[in-house]
């Protein structure tokens, strides 16, 4: 691959590799400058196919000026949403946020402050399928390719998830696989753990079972109440989610067998 780039006058600016010896798979991420590159953009897929097909390689091609279009889903908690919006505004996350979707009206002010359209889709039992269909239509209309669940407290249906394979990023408020499901801080408190955590992962049809992207933890003690767990956990949640989103939009994550290779 590096020979191919060099031969066509591409200047490699980043290169990372990983070999999973057990699975016998080679992973590679290469980033190169196109200034003097001999192959025009629109011919690149074709040329890549030519050189990779003999080796049964799978590849994806992204141009760094094509920013991922991201929809943020949130419910009532504001910490992850504000965190994403302020990072985005500061230029840390190279993506577009054409819209925010919520099953509550609580965070509309936050969206307005950052000038992002807010779409309210209340979910009440029987209307879920219809609401999801409407959401999907809206997401398509906005050419959204990635969804961030910023403490979105609704379980997406299998059909919905299937529309965005490896492109829905969730933050779960425990160090998975410990405490999946609802109210993990309460469960952690009852169990008397000395460490709490947060996990960001791609969403699959198995709840809280998707490929883990990032995790972090913080120490707690008997002096911490469940409210302390929640307060301190929020700091983990927003930082871990943002880290996962950063890697996703920088295209450094490769998903394989329900696991992730997260390059630098």
Annotate 26-49 with b (16+ C-beta within 10 A) or e (fewer).
eebbbbbebeeeebeeeeeeeebe
CA–CA separation, 179 and 174 (whole Å): 6
Q: What is the rounded CA–CA span in Å between residue 83 and residue 238? A: 6
CA 214 to chain centre: 10
Q: How far is the CB of 222 from a copy of itself (least distance, A)?
A: 4
Q: How far is the CB of 42 from a copy of itself (least distance, A)?
A: 29
User: Maximum Cα–Cα distance for the chain, whole Å?
Assistant: 64
Give whichever of 26 and 162 is closer to a copy of itself, judged by the CB atom.
26
Which CB, 143 or 264, lies closer to a copy of itself?
A: 264
Classify 31 as helix, strand or coil.
Answer: strand
Active site residue 145: no
Site residues (vs a copy of itself, CB under 8 A): 12-22, 77-79, 82-83, 86-87, 89-90, 92, 113-114, 175-179, 191-195, 197, 211-217, 219, 221-225, 228, 231, 234-235, 239, 242-243, 258-262, 264
CB of 150 to a copy of itself, least distance (A): 12
Tell me which of 66, 83, 206, 208 is the catalytic residue: 208
Q: How far is the CB of 38 from a copy of itself (least distance, A)?
A: 21
**Own/partner long-range contacts of 131-136 (Cβ < 8 Å, ≥24 apart):** 132/156, 132/157, 132/159, 132/160, 135/101, 135/160, 136/160, 136/163
Judged by beta carbon, residue 160 or residue 179, the one nearer a copy of itself is: 179
Which residue's CB is nearer to a copy of itself, number 142 or number 183? Answer: 183
Give the catalytic positions in this structure.
208
């Amino acid at each position: 691959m590096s020979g191919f780039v060099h031969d066509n006058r591409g200047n490699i600016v980043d290169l990372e590799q990983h070999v999973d010896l057990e699975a016998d798979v080679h992973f590679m991420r290469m980033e190169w400058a196109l200034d003097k590159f001999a192959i025009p953009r629109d011919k690149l897929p074709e040329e890549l196919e030519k050189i990779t097909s003999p080796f049964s390689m799978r590849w994806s091609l992204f141009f760094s000026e094509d920013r991922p279009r991201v929809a943020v889903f949130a419910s009532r908690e504001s910490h992850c949403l504000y965190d994403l919006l302020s990072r985005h505004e500061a230029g840390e996350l190279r993506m577009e946020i054409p819209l925010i979707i919520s099953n509550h009206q609580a965070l509309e002010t936050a969206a307005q402050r950052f000038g992002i359209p807010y779409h309210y889709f209340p979910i009440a039992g029987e209307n879920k399928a219809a609401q999801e269909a409407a959401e999907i239509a809206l997401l398509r209309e906005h050419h959204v390719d990635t969804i961030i669940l910023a403490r979105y407290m609704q379980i997406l249906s299998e059909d919905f998830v299937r529309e965005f394979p490896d492109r829905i990023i969730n933050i779960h408020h425990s160090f998975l696989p410990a405490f999946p499901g609802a109210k993990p801080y309460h469960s952690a408190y009852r169990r008397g753990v000395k460490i709490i955590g947060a996990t960001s992962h791609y969403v699959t049809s198995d709840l809280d079972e998707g490929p883990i992207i990032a995790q972090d933890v913080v120490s707690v003690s008997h002096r911490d109440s469940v409210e302390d767990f929640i307060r301190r956990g929020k700091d983990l949640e927003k930082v871990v989610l943002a880290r996962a989103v950063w890697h996703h939009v920088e295209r450094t994550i490769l998903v394989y067998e329900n696991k992730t290779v997260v390059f630098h």
